[in-house]
């Protein structure tokens, strides 16, 4: 039975538009000679969906194409019939079976075309109401499908977040252990350094006390004047040297002061002052 010749151009185009693209490409690929007649110089698997629909529609009267379209219509009607009968056998009435089947068929956008091909008489009002119901159920099904997909995507994202959290926890524990080990090592290092410093301090303290015990009598005898086992004064020069810490600048500075004081005491003029006096007298003579 040929279905294509019963259909208007719009109905044929609808059928061509809902045939799966992969089915068309497979059919053209299996029949390369016939395909070359309608699209020479092209590869079947390189044709887009839009072009392949137009290719079917424009060549619908060729036997190669009409057989392909009729075969799909026949298969679809057979599959719908089997599904409806199964629902009826489960206890649904015919309307319920239609509503459970047609929203998921290739005729969900054109229920009127389905009943035309079915060759069963139904009123226009019945078909219109059924079409509205099928469209609504299809939309609801799509929304539910999107919702289910969203839930699945959210579940996948949630699992990824859980995995990330576990990974971060592992990294945090690792960093905490490393930090703890570093702190312990640092504290141990500081304790070692403190122990060394304490030992050095103890050693230096002992050496310092020993040194003082050794040199103090010598310093005392060199600074203090002792007569008849009594301290009668100090040696000024020795005291200055001791206070200056044997610094030559300090020692020579003190000695120069003493020399200046002695010169003034005996009225010996400064070398610089003499030069100045001679210059003044020379000016007077001039």
Residue 223 vs residues 88, 213, 233, 234, 254: alpha-carbon distances, Å: 133, 16, 9, 5, 16
- 78-112 residue pLDDT tens: 999 999 999 999 999 999 999 999 999 999 999 99
Give the number of other CB atoms < 10 A from CB of residue 53: 19
> Residues 244, 254: contact at Cβ < 8 Å?
yes
pLDDT for 115 equals 93
- The token duo for 163 is 């995995």
Residue position matching structure tokens 């190669």: 64
Is the four-CA dihedral 15, 21, 25, 30 of positive or negative sign? negative
Residue position matching structure tokens 């100045």: 276
Q: At what angle do helices 124-223 and 111-118 cross, to 10 degrees?
A: 140
- Helix/strand/coil for 161: helix
Query: How many distinct helices (H) and strands (E) make up the chain?
Result: 11, 2
Rounded to whole angstroms, how far apart are CA atoms 205 and 197? 12
Rounded to whole angstroms, how far apart are CA atoms 52 and 85? 34
DSSP label of 46: G
- Helix/strand/coil for 40: coil
Is the four-CA dihedral 209, 213, 214, 215 of positive or negative sign? positive
pTM strictly above 0.85: no
Rounded to whole angstroms, how far apart are CA atoms 203 and 244? 27
Give the number of other CB atoms < 10 A from CB of residue 207: 10
What's the start-to-end Cα distance of the chain, in Å? 155
Q: Per residue of the chain (286 residues), what is the pLDDT tens digit?
A: 788 989 999 999 999 999 999 999 999 999 999 999 999 888 888 888 889 999 999 999 999 999 999 999 999 999 999 999 999 999 999 999 999 999 999 999 999 999 999 888 889 999 999 999 999 998 888 777 666 565 666 566 656 656 665 777 677 787 777 777 777 776 677 667 667 656 655 555 555 555 555 555 666 666 677 777 677 776 776 666 666 555 555 556 655 665 666 666 656 555 544 434 344 444 444 3
Rounded to whole angstroms, how far apart are CA atoms 21 and 31? 16
Residue 262 vs residues 75, 181, 234, 269: alpha-carbon distances, Å: 140, 74, 20, 11
């Amino acid at each position: 039975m040929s279905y294509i010749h019963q259909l208007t151009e719009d109905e044929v185009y609808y059928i061509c538009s809902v045939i799966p693209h992969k089915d068309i490409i497979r059919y053209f690929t299996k029949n390369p000679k016939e395909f070359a007649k309608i699209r020479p110089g092209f590869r079947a698997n390189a044709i887009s969906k839009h072009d392949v629909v137009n290719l079917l529609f424009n060549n619908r009267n060729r036997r190669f194409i009409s057989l392909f379209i009729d075969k799909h219509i026949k298969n679809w009607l057979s599959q719908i019939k089997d599904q409806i009968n199964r629902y009826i056998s489960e206890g649904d009435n015919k309307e319920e079976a239609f509503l459970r089947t047609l929203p998921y068929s290739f005729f969900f956008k054109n229920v009127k075309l389905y009943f035309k091909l079915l060759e069963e008489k139904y009123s226009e009002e019945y078909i219109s109401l059924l079409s509205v119901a099928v469209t609504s159920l299809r939309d609801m099904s799509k929304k539910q499908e999107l919702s289910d997909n969203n839930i699945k995507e959210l579940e996948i994202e949630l699992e990824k977040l859980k995995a990330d959290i576990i990974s971060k926890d592992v990294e945090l524990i690792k960093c905490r252990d490393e930090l703890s080990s570093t702190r312990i090592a640092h504290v141990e290092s500081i304790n070692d350094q403190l122990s060394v410093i304490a030992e050095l301090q103890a050693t230096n303290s002992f050496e310092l006390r020993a040194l003082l015990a050794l040199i103090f009598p010598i310093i005392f005898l060199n600074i203090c004047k002792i007569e008849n086992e009594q301290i009668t004064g100090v040696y000024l020069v020795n005291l200055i040297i001791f206070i200056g810490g044997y610094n030559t600048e300090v020692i020579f500075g003190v000695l120069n002061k003493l020399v200046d004081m002695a010169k003034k005491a005996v009225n010996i003029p400064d070398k610089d002052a003499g030069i100045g006096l001679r210059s003044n007298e020379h000016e007077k003579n001039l």
